[in-house]
Amino acid sequence: MIDSGATAFVLICTAMVMLMTPAVGLFYGGLVRRKNFISMIALAFIAFALVSIQWVVCGYSLAFGTDICGLIGGLDHIFLQGVGMEGDGIPDLLFMVFQMVFAGLALAIVTSGVAERIKISSFIVFGLLWTTLVYDPLAHWAWGGGWATQLGAIDFAGGTVVHISSGFSALALALIIGRRLGFGGHGMEPNNIPMVLLGGALLWFGWFGFNAGSALAADGLAVNAFVATNIAAATGALAWFALAWVRGRPGSVGIISGAIAGLVAITPAAGFVAPIAAIPIGACAGIVCYAALVFRIRRGLDESLDAWAIHGMGGIFGALATGIFAVAAIGGVNGLLYGNPGLLLIQAVDVTIAVGYSFGMTCLIAKVIDAVMGLRVTEEEEYVGLDIAQHGESARV
Amino acid sequence: MIDSGATAFVLICTAMVMLMTPAVGLFYGGLVRRKNFISMIALAFIAFALVSIQWVVCGYSLAFGTDICGLIGGLDHIFLQGVGMEGDGIPDLLFMVFQMVFAGLALAIVTSGVAERIKISSFIVFGLLWTTLVYDPLAHWAWGGGWATQLGAIDFAGGTVVHISSGFSALALALIIGRRLGFGGHGMEPNNIPMVLLGGALLWFGWFGFNAGSALAADGLAVNAFVATNIAAATGALAWFALAWVRGRPGSVGIISGAIAGLVAITPAAGFVAPIAAIPIGACAGIVCYAALVFRIRRGLDESLDAWAIHGMGGIFGALATGIFAVAAIGGVNGLLYGNPGLLLIQAVDVTIAVGYSFGMTCLIAKVIDAVMGLRVTEEEEYVGLDIAQHGESARV
Amino acid sequence: MIDSGATAFVLICTAMVMLMTPAVGLFYGGLVRRKNFISMIALAFIAFALVSIQWVVCGYSLAFGTDICGLIGGLDHIFLQGVGMEGDGIPDLLFMVFQMVFAGLALAIVTSGVAERIKISSFIVFGLLWTTLVYDPLAHWAWGGGWATQLGAIDFAGGTVVHISSGFSALALALIIGRRLGFGGHGMEPNNIPMVLLGGALLWFGWFGFNAGSALAADGLAVNAFVATNIAAATGALAWFALAWVRGRPGSVGIISGAIAGLVAITPAAGFVAPIAAIPIGACAGIVCYAALVFRIRRGLDESLDAWAIHGMGGIFGALATGIFAVAAIGGVNGLLYGNPGLLLIQAVDVTIAVGYSFGMTCLIAKVIDAVMGLRVTEEEEYVGLDIAQHGESARV
Amino acid sequence: MKMVTAIIRPEMFNAVRTALEGEGIYGMTVSEVMGRGAQKGIALQFRGKAVPVDLIPKLKIEMVVKDADVERIIRIVRAHARTGRPGDGRIFVLPIERICRVRTDEEDPPES
Amino acid sequence: MKMVTAIIRPEMFNAVRTALEGEGIYGMTVSEVMGRGAQKGIALQFRGKAVPVDLIPKLKIEMVVKDADVERIIRIVRAHARTGRPGDGRIFVLPIERICRVRTDEEDPPES
Amino acid sequence: MKMVTAIIRPEMFNAVRTALEGEGIYGMTVSEVMGRGAQKGIALQFRGKAVPVDLIPKLKIEMVVKDADVERIIRIVRAHARTGRPGDGRIFVLPIERICRVRTDEEDPPES
Ligand SMILES: Nc1ncnc2c1ncn2[C@@H]1O[C@H](COP(=O)(O)OP(=O)(O)O)[C@@H](O)[C@H]1O
Ligand SMILES: Nc1ncnc2c1ncn2[C@@H]1O[C@H](COP(=O)(O)OP(=O)(O)O)[C@@H](O)[C@H]1O
Ligand SMILES: Nc1ncnc2c1ncn2[C@@H]1O[C@H](COP(=O)(O)OP(=O)(O)O)[C@@H](O)[C@H]1O
């Protein structure tokens, strides 16, 4: 039976999550140098458009088709076969599109690792392969009846599927494509911080759809996820802000980065923990991700826009925190704090495999593409900036 | 009986469609020269505010009042008389306001044809006349029980009513107001592409409300429309992108223009075709509108921001595509592909009359206003830019 | 019993209202000088994050806990104790978070009075005290069973609680912190009007959630509030626009300011008056707030971004208008026009006390903070701008 | 060497640039400026009142060139930036004493 | 002819412009710049540490005027852009060798 | 006095600024510009076709300094803005006739 309230809710949530993809583009676009501002936004749009098609053609089926050995879904739903207006609570087709916007967003986050230097043709090929070979299996494992589900690992709204995968894939890409010319020496300040903050605001907004919508119903669980989401964002922002203050002048980019760290960490937990548990989860996420960012910079890693530090490490922390704070009264499972250390162990296993698989497979894909067609633009193009070199456009004048 | 899920859904969709009007303003504002940036956004706000009042005073009644000879609605609902909290599924008042935001948006799209040169006082008069004499009749014909409904023409969310009407009206206006000073010779590059992309992102977001909301319920049909909408946007974007690539460097403005082309074309079809049909519809729309744009530029037509090429031609294509791809399993009507060539014929008739009427009537209104008060600012004002000349404001310094 | 349509609706409305806080930041950020652009947005984020935590810790309980002498709520709900997934129509937890986003927004509006000169540490302390000592009591009085409810004062969505309180608090703060250096002589034109308009567009969008969501159900009343909201925004915008035109060139900032004036004024009334009554309410609000703004400038008051003129005076006007136009058929109470002058009197009493309390208490808090830690940055910091001085960031170069 | 500073309408920039390229002149630095001409700006009429015109966006092109090229550049800019209406812009010529590349230690000849 | 380049606080621009208009000086080109004065910038205190101040937004006004007007303009700018606090700005005078209109082939007299 | 105008890559600005500070040079005015070098710009390949490169963002630093400092500044800018690849930028030296403070009636010495 279709519930009209649930359907209404998930439809709007889907639209809100869709908006997150251009929001990531604006967020990233404001962070890079002006000559690559447009390029970052364009990459987000391209990512979303590509995945939209990939998903209806085969992605959805690979993720949610009949399980094959716990590893991947079958091809029973390619071209949306058998995905219709009926469903349990919400139409199957709605579930399909709700999942689609997650996949699109994940690919957009990955662009962090190749910002200001990826060849657009290679990105298109990469995007299709990555979604098919990395995202779809991970989605199957966690939500499509794969081994992780069978093991009992929990991921409410995609901490592992979306954030760990995109964060560690961004890291892998960054290592293979190499640093930007002049990284470390050259100034690479954000060209447009108000745009970063606007993008961040839209992310925060969309995240309600992301997490609360994952309840797939407009019920108490959705509300629980919603409230936890907001609390974690707030404590994440404040924790990062406080840390940055201790070390100097606290920037606004730090505030919004902390909020996103909190949002990432609460993502797997939102429907499993009590809202109040979002206070420690968000605050620790702010600290963990801040430390990861500092570590990355110290190590001279050019994972340029910190998808790894924030989405990757935030995602790991969130998955583990879910194993700690989960309480049966909310999501039916108890975590460490409620006497079930097993869950934490399962979460750790799940995280480890997700990290390893997404990092390894992305390395492989990137290496192959690099060998075949080259991942990176020429030095001249990088110097000129991708806006002009690839799009023939420029963000001003 | 009021359904709370449906009401919730249509309420939020209405808000999302409302957001599309300033989004058009941002989109257009980023495309014009910097000296008219504010003017374009202000026109969108003025359009929306004017139509909001016109609609409750008489517009809604003209469109949805008791039918008079299939041509126009009666005055039974002026000042919202008899439009209350009761209704079938959703309150009548909600249907009224949902329709209102469409009317406001349509007028904002029309500003494309007069960008950077319209006198604000004339725009106000034009807006009121256009909404009353062009939009309201068209809405009545398609949705208010007028001849088009009686004929069996179908238009799910306003391909004819909103897009053909605004696109061809923009063309008519552009022809009558004349080209911008220096058009063809002068550089008229977009002043702020990130804003264009932001506006486009909000349009894409709002379009879910536009199309899915037109189901007037949170049910399978809404979901069908939602999914088709997203697919068409994605294929439209990719098709335009690919074409632009073949001809040179593919710009980001092209990506978003293609997405809008796809969105326009799926608008009349979204609740009548299978989601998968949105792949060819979106892709062809990208191609058709791209060609229309190239044609317009070749012909030296200064329909400045391509409402004609994208909304007008995309709307025609979409209306015809609905006649081809419609399938009874979704919306109760079969099209050409499912053995009913009659529908295509009806759609063609409907489109022809809509094109003719909106183009002709807009010409008439524009001519009269031009004769009485002048449509266009002085040469000095145009040179200085409308931001300063009309608003005493400027987008920087 | 939880209604899924209502829950869906209020969840999304909450997200929309959340978006209003950064929207206020963008709106204010565009209005100040470039050197404080980031600072204004950051203040909005900080306000929201702080209040998010304050609210779950104690704010919600102070506002909606068991009434103590009509003055304040008890501490029965601190740390969300007893606020769960059950509820009447919507889960209690949802009501809690819906109220939270209002509180966050109110504090963001207050930053108008200290724009370009507040010390960030003092703002944090101020924000916590203000929310606890001003906002929470006002919310309790109006909605939590306090004296105002008992008296019969009505405030549908927060005209008194949010707008009068923030507007008059901004005025109090402005008087105590003093004028900006060079105020009156120096040019202080908005640095980025397109951002102002974008912020305004998001405010208009979010306001649907604010007012319609306050019905706490997806029903006819919500629809009524929605329609009234849009009409008031439109007439407010047009009234201000017309006035500005009579006096010179009508700016776009005036259009959006008028819209906000209309939105503020309809806030307390939206669920008590007929939609058509929003025409005079919105139009008069545009005029009243315009006059207040002119008055403020004439008097040389540096309540910098006109929270007082628009939210404060618009809120007073709206509360009184509610007493005039309320009609039992909509919200169960008649106002002056429907033969019940008593309501107007009650509204006047309520407004007077709200104005006096928020102004007085804010003065007190501000004085104490000023004495203890200083409210204001140094002259050098003010000259350099808060972006650099406090955040080490800058909006361009 | 001279610096030729041309302040032109932004919409004429492409034409000017193309023409300069056609004559082999590539080096230039461009910035967005706001400007007002000597003739009091343009007097707009607003409901019967004359309204002082604020500054209008212009593009400033700075080209450092050999003395011998100045005349030619002025000719090109005039030919391609002119519309004949007020606001077409100005060209200023300033003396330059030295030019250095950053990339090499090369010094472009101070007078040529 | 000279080019008088004044770098002032953005907030003083309106006053300066009005004063210049009052004296009949209209032609000017304005741009947004960032600047730092010679006195090491302003030393902000941030929790006990002195923090180097970054560049601060300024407005640059370029006016090409007759030699005879230079003195007057400097006086006007000083009178209206001064606050007395560090950061009020600088005025530079540069020589101009030629001025051409784009609109006509007219040459403004090189020395007057 | 001279005005040293350096047009450099935006990403090298911090290094240059720090180095200048280290040598006691603080006063500067910075603006965002777009530029193209003399060597026809960079020829990008786009699917086999050479595509003319549009203007690229640069930073312009203007420093008015004593004649004696010019050499030193040029040296510093070269040392810290150089990458060795085309696009590193140019330094122009212009004569300055007068420098005035706005804050005081002080005149910085015209020649020193
Ligand atoms: N005396 C001047 N000093 C500096 N810039 C000037 C001067 N006169 C004109 N300009 C610049 O040239 C631009 C065009 O000048 P304008 O007088 O409008 O052109 P025209 O002489 O063709 O009417 C102005 O916007 C301004 O930027
Ligand atoms: N030596 C210089 N070279 C170039 N620009 C300078 C120089 N000194 C000052 N300026 C410009 O003038 C502005 C104001 O200078 P500042 O020294 O702060 O003023 P004041 O002398 O009144 O304290 C600076 O922001 C900078 O843009
Ligand atoms: N002749 C010139 N006139 C004005 N600006 C120039 C000139 N030549 C170079 N520039 C400026 O210097 C910048 C760098 O020049 P470029 O020739 O690319 O450096 P390089 O000589 O190191 O290759 C250009 O982007 C432009 O802004």
* Residue in A closest to D13 by C-alpha: A397
Q: How many domains does chain B have?
A: 1
E53 CA → ligand 2 middle, Å: 13
Among candidates F26, F64, F102 on the partner chain, residue whose Cβ is nearest the Cβ of E89: F102
Residues C287-340: tens digit of each pLDDT? 999 999 999 999 999 999 999 999 999 999 999 999 999 999 999 999 999 999
Query: What does the pLDDT read at residue C187?
Result: 83
Answer whether residue D111 shows pLDDT above 70.
Answer: no
D93 CA → ligand 3 middle, Å: 18
Among candidates C197, C226, C251 on the partner chain, residue whose Cβ is nearest the Cβ of B14: C226
Residues B181-197: tens digit of each pLDDT? 989 888 899 999 999 99
Query: What does the pLDDT read at residue E38?
Result: 63
Q: Could you tell me the two tokens for C220?
A: 């006819």
Is A182 part of the contact surface with chain F (CB cutoff 8 Å)? yes
Contact D35 E29 (CB under 8 A): yes
Q: Cα–Cα distance between C140 and A278 in angstroms, integer?
A: 26
| Band of pLDDT at residue D110, cut at 50, 70 and 90 | very low
Taking residues B299-328, report their average pLDDT: 98
Whether C396 is covered by a domain: the verdict is no
B392 CA → ligand 1 middle, Å: 20
Contact E92 F99 (CB under 8 A): yes
Sign, CA dihedral C219-C225-C227-C230, equals: negative
| Band of pLDDT at residue A397, cut at 50, 70 and 90 | very low
B-F Cβ pairs (cutoff 8 Å, strict): 3
Helices then strands, counting H and E runs in chain F, come out as: 2, 8
- Amino acid found at C335: G
* Secondary structure letter of residue C65 according to DSSP: S
Contacts of C35 in chain E (CB under 8 A): 56-57
Ligand at shortest distance from the CA of B383:
1
- The CA distance from F20 to the nearest CA of chain B, in Å, is 29
Pocket of ligand 2 (CB under 6 A): E 7, 35-39, 56, 58, 86-90; F 27-29, 62-64, 101-103
- The CA distance from E53 to the nearest CA of chain D, in Å, is 25
Ligand 1 atom closest to residue D42's alpha carbon, by position in its atom list: 18
**Whole-Å CA distances, D23 to B187, D10, D31, E105, F34:** 20, 21, 22, 20, 20
Parent domain of B178:
4-391
Taking residues C187-196, report their average pLDDT: 94
Q: Which has more confidence, D36 or C166?
A: C166
Q: Cα–Cα distance between A388 and A396 in angstroms, integer?
A: 11
Query: What does the pLDDT read at residue A238?
Result: 98
Q: Cα–Cα distance between D41 and B79 in angstroms, integer?
A: 48
Query: What does the pLDDT read at residue C185?
Result: 82
A73 CA → ligand 3 middle, Å: 57
Answer whether residue B305 shows pLDDT above 60.
Answer: yes
| Band of pLDDT at residue F51, cut at 50, 70 and 90 | low
Q: How many residues does chain F have?
A: 112
| CB-based contact C139:C155 (threshold 8 Å) | no
CATH number at residue B52: 1.10.3430.10
Contact E30 B396 (CB under 8 A): no
Ligand 2 atom closest to residue F29's alpha carbon, by position in its atom list: 27
Q: Cα–Cα distance between D13 and D31 in angstroms, integer?
A: 11
Ligand 2 atom closest to residue E55's alpha carbon, by position in its atom list: 25
Q: Cα–Cα distance between B8 and B4 in angstroms, integer?
A: 6
- The CA distance from C138 to the nearest CA of chain A, in Å, is 23
Q: Could you tell me the two tokens for A81?
A: 């076969």
Q: Cα–Cα distance between B233 and A226 in angstroms, integer?
A: 29
Residues B203-233: tens digit of each pLDDT? 999 999 999 999 999 999 999 999 999 999 9
DSSP A349-373: HHHHHHHHHHHHHHHHHHHHHHHHT
Taking residues E25-53, report their average pLDDT: 75
Dihedral of the alpha carbons of B61, B62, B66, B72, in degrees to the nearest 10: -170
Contacts of F59 in chain C (CB under 8 A): 397
Q: Cα–Cα distance between B139 and B136 in angstroms, integer?
A: 5
Ligand at shortest distance from the CA of E53:
2
Q: Phi and psi at residue F30, in whole multiples of 5°?
A: -120, 140
Please compute, for residue C369, the number of CA atoms within 13 A of its CA located in the half-sphere on the CB side.
Answer: 24
Find the angle CA(E34)-CA(E36)-CA(E42) to the nearest 5 degrees.
125
Residues D67-77: tens digit of each pLDDT? 999 999 999 99
Among candidates F29, F30, F97 on the partner chain, residue whose Cβ is nearest the Cβ of E94: F97
Residues A20-58: tens digit of each pLDDT? 999 999 999 999 999 999 999 999 999 999 999 999 999
Taking residues C82-88, report their average pLDDT: 94
Q: Could you tell me the two tokens for D96?
A: 């330059």
Q: Is E112 exposed, middle or buried (0-12, 13-18, 19+ CB in 10 A)?
A: exposed
* CA nearest ligand 3 atom 14, residue: F89
Dihedral of the alpha carbons of C90, C94, C100, C105, in degrees to the nearest 10: -70
Query: What does the pLDDT read at residue F112?
Result: 38
Taking residues A112-137, report their average pLDDT: 98
Ligand at shortest distance from the CA of F57:
3
Answer whether residue D40 shows pLDDT above 80.
Answer: no
Contact F30 C396 (CB under 8 A): no
Cβ density class C378-395: b for 16+ within 10 Å, e for less: eebbbbbbbbbbbbbbbb
Contacts of A279 in chain C (CB under 8 A): 53, 56
Query: What does the pLDDT read at residue E81?
Result: 94
Q: Could you tell me the two tokens for A338?
A: 């409620």
| Band of pLDDT at residue E87, cut at 50, 70 and 90 | confident
| CB-based contact B318:B163 (threshold 8 Å) | yes
Residues C94-111: tens digit of each pLDDT? 999 999 999 999 999 999
Is F31 part of the contact surface with chain B (CB cutoff 8 Å)? no
Pocket of ligand 3 (CB under 6 A): D 27-29, 62-64, 101-103; F 7, 35-39, 56, 58, 86-90
- Which DSSP helix (H) or strand (E) runs through D108? strand D107-108
Other C-beta atoms closer than 10 Å to the C-beta of A301 total 18
Query: What does the pLDDT read at residue D48?
Result: 62
Residues F11-41: tens digit of each pLDDT? 899 899 999 989 888 899 999 999 887 656 5
Is B249 part of the contact surface with chain F (CB cutoff 8 Å)? yes
Taking residues F1-13, report their average pLDDT: 94
Q: How many residues does chain A have?
A: 397
DSSP B75-129: STTGGGTT--S--SBS-HHHHHHHHHHHHHHHHHHHGGGGTTTB-HHHHHHHHHH
Taking residues C5-29, report their average pLDDT: 98
Q: Who contacts B208 (Cβ-Cβ below 8 Å, separation ≥6)?
A: A11, A14, A15, A18, B13, B16, B226, B229, B230
In the beta sheet, which residues pair with residue A89?
Answer: A2
| Band of pLDDT at residue F47, cut at 50, 70 and 90 | low
| CB-based contact B171:B308 (threshold 8 Å) | yes
Residues B94-114: tens digit of each pLDDT? 999 999 999 999 999 999 999
Q: Cα–Cα distance between D58 and D55 in angstroms, integer?
A: 9
Q: Could you tell me the two tokens for C364?
A: 């007190």
Pocket of ligand 1 (CB under 6 A): D 7, 35-39, 56, 58, 86-90; E 27-29, 62-64, 101-103
Query: What does the pLDDT read at residue F50?
Result: 66
Residues A146-169: tens digit of each pLDDT? 999 999 999 999 999 999 999 999
| Band of pLDDT at residue F106, cut at 50, 70 and 90 | confident
Residues A209-262: tens digit of each pLDDT? 999 999 999 999 999 999 999 999 999 999 999 999 999 899 999 999 999 999
Query: What does the pLDDT read at residue C397?
Result: 45
Q: Who contacts E48 (Cβ-Cβ below 8 Å, separation ≥6)?
A: none
* Secondary structure letter of residue C392 according to DSSP: S
Is C397 part of the contact surface with chain F (CB cutoff 8 Å)? yes
**Mean per-residue pLDDT over chain E, rounded:** 86
> Which residues 83-112 in chain E show a CB within 8 A of chain C?
83, 85, 87
Residues C341-379: tens digit of each pLDDT? 999 999 999 999 999 999 999 999 999 999 999 999 999
Query: What does the pLDDT read at residue B395?
Result: 87
Ligand 2 atom closest to residue F62's alpha carbon, by position in its atom list: 4
**Mean per-residue pLDDT over chain D, rounded:** 86
Taking chain F, what is the end-to-end CA distance rounded to the nearest angstrom?
Answer: 7
Contacts of C394 in chain F (CB under 8 A): none
Taking residues F34-60, report their average pLDDT: 73
In the beta sheet, which residues pair with residue A376?
Answer: A118
Give the predicted TM-score (pTM) of the model: 0.96
The radius of gyration computed from the CA coordinates of chain F, to the nearest angstrom, equals 17
Question: If DSSP codes are grouped into helix, strand and coil, which group holds residue B3?
Answer: coil
Q: Could you tell me the two tokens for B325?
A: 């791809």
Whether B57 is covered by a domain: the verdict is yes
Pick among A388, A396, A397 to test the D interface (most D CBs inside 10 A): A397
Contact E11 C394 (CB under 8 A): no
Answer whether residue B50 shows pLDDT above 50.
Answer: yes
Is D51 part of the contact surface with chain C (CB cutoff 8 Å)? yes
Parent domain of D93:
2-108
- The CA distance from C35 to the nearest CA of chain F, in Å, is 15
Ligand at shortest distance from the CA of F60:
3
Whether B396 is covered by a domain: the verdict is no
Contacts of A193 in chain B (CB under 8 A): none
The answer to which of A271-280, B122-131, F94-103 has the lowest mean pLDDT is: F94-103
Q: How many domains does chain D have?
A: 1
Sign, CA dihedral C113-C115-C117-C123, equals: positive
- The CA distance from D83 to the nearest CA of chain C, in Å, is 28
Residues B233-286: tens digit of each pLDDT? 999 999 999 999 999 899 999 999 999 999 999 999 999 999 999 999 999 999
**Whole-Å CA distances, D28 to A6, A377, B372, F39, F56:** 60, 26, 48, 11, 11
Q: Cα–Cα distance between C199 and C126 in angstroms, integer?
A: 25
Contacts of D99 in chain F (CB under 8 A): 90-93
* CA nearest ligand 3 atom 17, residue: F37
| Band of pLDDT at residue D87, cut at 50, 70 and 90 | confident
Crossing angle (nearest 10°) for helices C341-372 and C120-130: 140
Query: What does the pLDDT read at residue E112?
Result: 38
| Band of pLDDT at residue A78, cut at 50, 70 and 90 | very high
Instruction: Examine the predicted complex and report whether its ipTM is higher than 0.85.
Output: yes
Contacts of E34 in chain F (CB under 8 A): 29-31
CATH number at residue E95: 3.30.70.120
Within chain B, where are the H helices?
4-31, 37-54, 60-64, 92-110, 120-130, 136-143, 147-151, 165-177, 193-212, 220-247, 252-266, 278-298, 313-325, 328-331, 341-372, 379-384, 386
Answer whether residue F42 shows pLDDT above 70.
Answer: no
C37 CA → ligand 2 middle, Å: 23
| Band of pLDDT at residue D39, cut at 50, 70 and 90 | low
Within A131-219, where are the H helices?
136-143, 147-151, 165-177, 193-212
Contact D82 E95 (CB under 8 A): no
Q: How many residues does chain C have?
A: 397
Contacts of B249 in chain F (CB under 8 A): 46, 51
Whether C397 is covered by a domain: the verdict is no
E38 CA → ligand 2 middle, Å: 6
Contact D59 A396 (CB under 8 A): no
Query: What does the pLDDT read at residue B119?
Result: 97
B300 dihedral zone (left: phi>0; alpha: psi -120 to 50; beta): left
- The CA distance from A199 to the nearest CA of chain D, in Å, is 27
* CA nearest ligand 3 atom 9, residue: F37
- The CA distance from D63 to the nearest CA of chain A, in Å, is 17
Answer whether residue A84 shows pLDDT above 90.
Answer: yes
Q: Which has more confidence, E59 or D50?
A: E59
Ligand at shortest distance from the CA of F59:
3
